[in-house]
Each structure stands twice: as C-alpha cells, then as structure tokens.
C-alpha cells in the first residue's frame, strides 16, 4: 500500500468516525484540528482504523500518537 492509498483509506475512516466529510487528512493533522476529537472518540477512531486495516495496536502505542503522520507510520509498520 502506498501513501496515497493509505491516506485515502484513512480519510474515509475519519469521515465515518467524526461524521464530517470536510476533514482533510494530512500527516500534520492533530486532535486540536478536528471537532469532537476527544479521548473517547480517539478510542473509536483507533478501533475503526484497526478494523479497516486489519491491524492491532498496543495500549502504549495508542497513548503516544501525536498526529496522523505517526498513526500512518504505525499502520505501515504493521502491514
């Protein structure tokens, strides 16, 4: 999977989780930039990513993520 495919799939995950189809998913995107991205929605986001990409993250990985770029790197490292 190349970056373009990965970000395109991440984009549909974000639209689904945050119920907002205007979100532009970039490596720099952080929780500050998205309405409703609180700690609870973060968990739902991670669950949806895990399902969409068929990966599992560890508890410490989930806590450490600072932006979408790190999430993408984590997915790439797994698949």
Partner 1 sequence: MNPLYSELQWLPRPPQDFSNLLKAAGTSGESLGYDIRFLASFALDLNQLTRLAKVIGKANSEAASLHPLTPFRLAVLSNGTTDMLLPSLVGSAARHGIALEVIQPSYDQVAQEALTPDSKVNSSKPDAVLLALDYRALPLKLSLGDPEAASAIVQGVLGYLQALREGIKANSNAVCIFQTFAPPAEPLFGSLDRLLPGTFRNLIDAINRELCAYVHGSGDVLLDVAGLAETLGLANWHDPVMWNLGKFPFSAELIPLYGDHVARAVAAIRGKSRKTLILDLDNTVWGGVIGDDGLEGILIAQGDARGEAHLAVQRLALDLRQRGIVLAVSSKNTDEVAREPFLKHPEMLLKLDHIAVFQANWNDKATNIQAIAEELTLGLDAMVFLDDNPVERGLVRKLLPQVAVPELPDEPAYYARTLAAAGYFEAIAFATEDLKRAGFYQDNAKRASLQKQVGGVDAYLASLDMTITFQPFDSTGRARIVQLINKSNQYNLTTRRYTDPEVSDAENAPDVFTLQVRLQDIFGDNGMISVIICRTGEPGVWEIDTWLMSCRVLGRKVEHMVLREILNHAREARIQKLIGTYRPTEKNKLVIDHYKKLGFTNIAADGNGLTRWEMIVEGAEPETAPMNVVSQGFIASREKTFA
Residues that bind partner 1 (CB under 8 A): 15-17, 19, 21, 39-40, 43-44, 47-48, 51, 59, 62
DSSP annotation string for 10-47: HHHHHHHHHT-TT----TT--GGGSTT--HHHHHHHHH
User: In whole angstroms, how close is the CB of 48 to partner 1 at the nearest point?
Assistant: 6
Residue 19 or 33: which CB sits closer to partner 1? 19
- Kindly state the helix (H) or strand (E) to which residue 57 belongs, with its residue range: none
User: In whole angstroms, how close is the CB of 20 to partner 1 at the nearest point?
Assistant: 10
């Amino acid at each position: 999977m190349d970056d373009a495919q990965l970000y395109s799939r991440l984009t549909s995950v974000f639209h689904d989780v945050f119920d907002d189809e205007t979100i532009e998913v970039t490596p720099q995107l952080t929780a500050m930039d998205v309405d409703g991205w609180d700690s609870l929605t973060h968990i739902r986001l991670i669950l949806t990513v895990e399902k969409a990409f068929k990966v599992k993250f560890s508890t410490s990985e989930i806590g450490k993520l600072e932006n979408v770029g790190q999430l993408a790197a984590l997915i790439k490292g797994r698949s």
